Structure 1
C-alpha cells in the first residue's frame, strides 16, 4: 500500500489529470501525451507504454460505450479495421521484448516514440487542415453510409495497430486522420464513434501483449486511472469555454518539441524550433485560413455540420 502513496505516484496522478483535461478538450488520444510524460518522469519506457495502454483501455471503453448507445459508429468500418489492428497491436509487446535486454528496449522505444510523436504532430496538423477544408466546402454530411474500401482500410488498421502496440501512440490521431482521408464524407460524430469503438479492442490487445511481456506497475497504473478519468470529464465540460484552435495548435507544438527531445536533439535546437512554432505558427495558420476565405484569427468549426432535421437519420 505504501508503494501507492509516493511522490512519484502523486506526480503521475497530477500529470494524468492534466493530460485527461487535454483529451477531454480536444478528443485527442492520450497516448501521444501520457507515454512521453511518464518517460520524462523517470519511468522505464517499456513500463510507461504497458501501463498507459492498460489505463487507455479503461478510458476508451467508457467513451465507446457512450457512442455505441447513441448509434453513431459505423460498425462495418470499425469491424474491418479490427481485423488487422487487433493482431498487430497484440504483437507489439512481443516485438519490443524480442529486442534484447532492458537497455536495448529503452533505446528503441525512446527513438520509436520520438518518431511517432513527430508523425502524430504532422497528422494532427493535417487533421486541422482537413477540417478547415470541409468547413469551407459546404460543411454538410451526407445521410448515406460511405462505400467501404477494404484493402486500404485493412492497411490502415495494420499500420495503426502496430504503431499503438509498440509505442501506445496513434490510436486517436493516425487512424483518425487516415479515416478522414479515406472516407471524407463520414460525418464527425460517426468518425469519432467509429474510431473509439475500434480503438477499444485495439488498445486492449496491445495492453494484453505488453502485460504478458512486461507486467503491470500498480504504482503507475492506479494514479493513471484515478487522475485521467476525472480529468477527461472536466476537459469535456470545459470544451465549450476554450478556443479549440489555440489548443490544437498548442498540442502540435508540444508533440513536436517532445518528439525532438526524445530523439536526442540538442536543447538549443529544440528551443529554436519551439520559438519558431510559437511565433510563426499562428501567422502561418492565419494565412492558411485566409486562403480558404475565413478570418485569420477565429475559432475553426467542426468538420461537419448536420442539419437539425436530418440528424436523427445520421
Structure 2
C-alpha cells in the first residue's frame, strides 16, 4: 500500500514506514533515546530530503518518548527534579537549534552539516560507550569491583556553585552543568533530528553519575518535551514537518516503545550500555559509508534554498 508524502513529495509504502516506526520505537523505549539518530538516516536512505527527515522525525520521537515515559513513570524511575533542570536548558537549546537549522538551510549547507555531524558524534560517542562497557563486563567476569570515587574526587564542573541535591538520582551536584547539558541536547535535537538520548544517557551516567535506569527514564522525559517544542517551531519557522509521514511513524513508535521499555528494565546495566554503544557506532559507520561511496547517479538536480 503506497501513500504520498505531501511535504517530502515522495510516494512510499505505508507498511515500510510503520515497521520502521515500530523498530525504532522499540529501541527508543529500551535505551531511553529518542531514536532520531537512527530514524533520520533511515528516512534519508529511503529518499526523504534531510530537511524534511530532520523536522518530521521529531513527531515520532515525541510519540515514542511519551509512551516510554509512561512506562517508567509507573515504575517511579523518572527524576522530575533533574528533568526540570535539564528542560530549563533544553527548551532554550531547541529554539537555538531551529534557528540555526533555518540559517544553514537558507545558505544550502544543511545536508553537509547533518552528514558530518552524524559521523563525528555517533562515531565518537559509540566508540567511548563500547570501550567502557566492555571494560565493565570484563571487570565483572573477573570478579573485580568497580573503582569507587573518593569523596571530593568529582570533576571540577560538578563542584561549581548553585549545588542541588537530586534525591531520586542520589547525586549532589552543581545546577550549571545540568542546565548546560540540557541546552546542548536541545540544540542538537532540533538541528539534527535526534532526540539527544544517545548523548544524554551517557552524559547522565558518566558525567553526573546518575543510575542507568534513572538516566534512561529521565532522558525520555526530556526528549518528550523538547521534541514537542521542536515540532511546533519547525512547523512555524521552516514548514518542513510532513504530517502524514509523522503520523505513520508516531503510530509505530508508540507500539514499539511499550515493548522496548519493558525489555530495557529486565536487562543488566552493562549489557544495556554495550548494546546502545554498538547501535550508535553502527549507525555512524553506515552514514560514513553512504557519504564516502560513489553514488549510482553522479548527477542530481537540487533546489537552491537561498534563492527562495
Q: Same fold (TM over 0.5)?
A: yes
Residue 44 of structure 1 pairs with residue 49 of structure 2: yes
Are the counterparts in 1 of residues 195 and 223 from structure 2 also a CA contact under 8 Å? no
Are the counterparts in 1 of residues 34 and 64 from structure 2 also a CA contact under 8 Å? no
Match of 1:166 in 2: 191
Are the counterparts in 1 of residues 29 and 64 from structure 2 also a CA contact under 8 Å? no
Are the counterparts in 2 of residues 16 and 227 from structure 1 also a CA contact under 8 Å? yes
Residue 187 of structure 1 pairs with residue 211 of structure 2: yes
Aligned mates of 2:245, 2:252 — CA distance in 1:
11
* TM-score for both structures, normalised by structure 1: 0.70
Change (3 A) 1:131 1:24: farther
Are the counterparts in 2 of residues 117 and 256 from structure 1 also a CA contact under 8 Å? yes
Are the counterparts in 1 of residues 87 and 222 from structure 2 also a CA contact under 8 Å? yes
Post-superposition offset of 1:71: 2.9
- Matching of residues 114-129 of structure 1 within 5 Å: 114-125=119-130, 128=133
Match of 2:228 in 1: 204
Count of matched residue positions in the alignment of Structure 1 and Structure 2: 263
Change (3 A) 1:127 1:89: farther
Match of 2:101 in 1: 96
Change (3 A) 1:87 1:246: closer
**Higher-RCO chain (CA-CA 8 Å, sequence separation at least 6):** 2
Greater fraction of residues in strand: 2
Match of 1:293 in 2: none
Deviations 1:40-91 (A, max 9, x none): 1110111111111122112212222333344322222211111111111122
Match of 2:176 in 1: 151
Deviations 1:194-214 (A, max 9, x none): 222222222222222222213
Post-superposition offset of 1:245: 8.0
Change (3 A) 1:35 1:134: farther
Post-superposition offset of 1:158: 1.6
Greater fraction of residues in helix: 1
Aligned mates of 2:130, 2:42 — CA distance in 1:
21
Match of 1:55 in 2: 60
Aligned mates of 1:77, 1:163 — CA distance in 2:
20
Q: Which runs of 5+ in 1 are unaligned?
A: 268-314
Post-superposition offset of 1:174: 0.8
Are the counterparts in 2 of residues 113 and 169 from structure 1 also a CA contact under 8 Å? no
Q: Which runs of 5+ in 2 are unaligned?
A: 149-166, 295-308
Q: What is the RMSD computed on CA atoms of the aligned residues?
A: 3.5
Are the counterparts in 2 of residues 117 and 169 from structure 1 also a CA contact under 8 Å? no
Match of 1:17 in 2: 22
